[in-house]
Structure 1
Amino acid sequence: MRPLVILRPEPGAGRTADKAAQLGLIVRRWPLFEAKALSWEAPPPGRFDALLLTSAQAARLAGPHLAIYRALPAYAVGNATAAAMESAGFAAVTAGETDGTAIAARIAADGHRTVLHLTGVHSAPIDAGPLALHRIAVYEMMETDAEGLEAAIRSETVLLIHSPRAGERLAALLPFESRSRFHIVAISPAALAACGGGWASTRAAERPDDDRMLALAHRLCE
């Protein structure tokens, strides 16, 4: 059986590892980034029609300021982000299943126009359409010491990529000529494209969902 290496940050890496272990997979965790909370000033909630989070890390690291926005209609990209918002006290979070542009279109269709977007320093671009997005970074993803990744993975391996930035860093860490023994499963086409070429095989989940990624990885690991 090919081992599965999870490259996403904690605590998500641990959740993914638990699910993978339940599938009987051989699992290793090697986070390429770790999240660091940032200080930020919270604008009055009355200035906004809705709240958008595009990462579960934003819900986890926004701190006590996040609570003042609980009365706003809440939107999230992905079920994991929605679950993190619900754990932070938000009710009836609307989750989009693709990307920020798709959930922005849903927010606009619901009649909202001025939206507070709490996110990371590095986040995927969003086509906001008619929305006025007020973006505030509440966390930053810092690179971990992953220079030994290639040496640590000596056999044919399946790698999980949970973001375009992770794909970019993986491509920087593993030279083209050494990629032929690695299989890539990415959370989105954008994350997959960031990995570049030369891999043994590549797959992207049809929706940004951990369970879909693991279903693809399971077949490759067997």
Structure 2
Amino acid sequence: MRVLVTRPEAKARRTCARLSAMGYQPVSLPLFQPEHFDATRLDFLKRRNWSALAITSSEALSGFSIGEGLAFLADKPVFAVGQRTACIARGTGFTHIITGKGDGQSLARTIAGYLPSSPAASPLLYLAGSPRAPDFENTLHQLGIDFETATVYVMQPIEYAAYDLENLMRDQSPSAVLFYSRAAAQRFFSLNVMRYIASSEKCMRLLCISRKVAEAIPAEFSPNISIAHSPDEPRLLALLAET
């Protein structure tokens, strides 16, 4: 079975390797590429008044490690959205990591259980990307958590010529597509990739890491959608074995 991976290239390589090990034939179609703002991230991190850090994507820590001059950050509480992000945070040198349940709303509630909502408390620093879902920040506001957002990377859309998509889908037509973000799902359908899928594959499966991602898929394809039982890659890939 061919499986189309819509992640950015670096992450797609890891997913494709995992798919190959599972016996599937991965096909990579990155829809975005990250542009990082390392100086912005460093400027924010050097401020010593943060009560904690929050990270909803490992991309926010790309190329970063705690070195000389940032040692004070090592034991700063870091709230990571899921296991993969927590692992990356640990690898950069953070030692006090609290892991959420895989989505922004639950991470915000986890933070509220740890941090005081007093106006006198130091704010939380959210290392974020763009575009991003508003759920995490909205929930922090609702829970009275004082925070500041630093946009430290932007996902830039990758342009494809129609004939490139047509050739790829003709030569490596997939039976399933993996979606890890709302932005990727929206981009996939805005490029009208489905029009290039071989007619025998019109009923191919659209596998989504969460319900929020699935909501970005046009209603006409709702019968094709399956949603992971929890928002993480192992559960998403497990959908491939389901009939």
Measured against the shorter chain, the TM-score band is 0.7 to 0.9
Confirm or deny: 8 A CA contact 1:177 1:198 kept in the other structure.
no
Aligned-pair CA distance for 1:64:
6.4
Q: Give the aligned partner of residue 186 of structure 2.
A: 168
Q: Distance in 2 between matches of 1:198 and 1:149?
A: 21
Structure 1 67/169 Cα, relative in aligned 2: closer, same or farther at 3 Å? farther
Q: Give the aligned partner of residue 53 of structure 1.
A: 55
Q: Give the aligned partner of residue 157 of structure 2.
A: 143
- Residue segments in structure 2 that go unaligned for 5+ positions in a row: 118-122
Q: Which amino acid aligns with 1:117?
A: Y
Aligned-pair CA distance for 1:197:
2.7
Secondary structure of the 1:206 match is coil
Secondary structure of the 1:124 match is coil
Q: Give the aligned partner of residue 216 of structure 2.
A: 194
Aligned-pair CA distance for 1:91:
1.7
Q: Which amino acid aligns with 2:241?
A: H
Q: Which amino acid aligns with 1:217?
A: L
Cα-to-partner distance string for 1:63-106 (whole Å, 9 max, x where unaligned): 76976533311111121111111111112422112311211111
Confirm or deny: 8 A CA contact 1:187 1:207 kept in the other structure.
yes
Q: Which amino acid aligns with 2:205?
A: H
Aligned pair count reads 219
Q: Distance in 2 between matches of 1:181 and 1:153?
A: 14
Aligned-pair CA distance for 1:165:
0.5
User: Over alpha carbons, which structure has the higher Rg?
Assistant: 2
Q: Give the aligned partner of residue 204 of structure 2.
A: 182
Confirm or deny: 8 A CA contact 2:53 2:76 kept in the other structure.
yes
Q: Give the aligned partner of residue 24 of structure 2.
A: 25
Aligned-pair CA distance for 1:161:
0.6
Confirm or deny: 8 A CA contact 2:209 2:231 kept in the other structure.
yes
Aligned-pair CA distance for 1:150:
4.8
- Residue segments in structure 1 that go unaligned for 5+ positions in a row: none
Q: Distance in 2 between matches of 1:12 and 1:158?
A: 18
Q: State the TM-score, normalized to the length of structure 1.
A: 0.88
Cα-to-partner distance string for 1:149-178 (whole Å, 9 max, x where unaligned): 354223452010110110110110127767
- What is the aligned-residue RMSD (CA, Å)? 2.3
Confirm or deny: 8 A CA contact 2:2 2:175 kept in the other structure.
yes
Matching of residues 39-188 of structure 1 within 5 Å: 39-40=39-40, 41-42=43-44, 44-61=46-63, 69-113=73-117, 114-125=123-134, 126=136, 127-128=139-140, 129-147=143-161, 148-154=164-170, 155-174=173-192, 180-188=202-210
Structure 1 207/67 Cα, relative in aligned 2: closer, same or farther at 3 Å? farther
Q: State the TM-score, normalized to the length of structure 2.
A: 0.81
The correspondence for 1:209, drawn from 225, 232, 235, is 232
More deviation in 173-182 or 31-40?
A: 173-182
Confirm or deny: 8 A CA contact 1:23 1:218 kept in the other structure.
no
Secondary structure of the 1:47 match is coil
The percent of aligned pairs where both chains have the same amino acid is 26
Q: Distance in 2 between matches of 1:197 and 1:183?
A: 14
Q: Distance in 2 between matches of 1:187 and 1:159?
A: 11
More helix by share: 2
Q: Give the aligned partner of residue 36 of structure 2.
A: 37
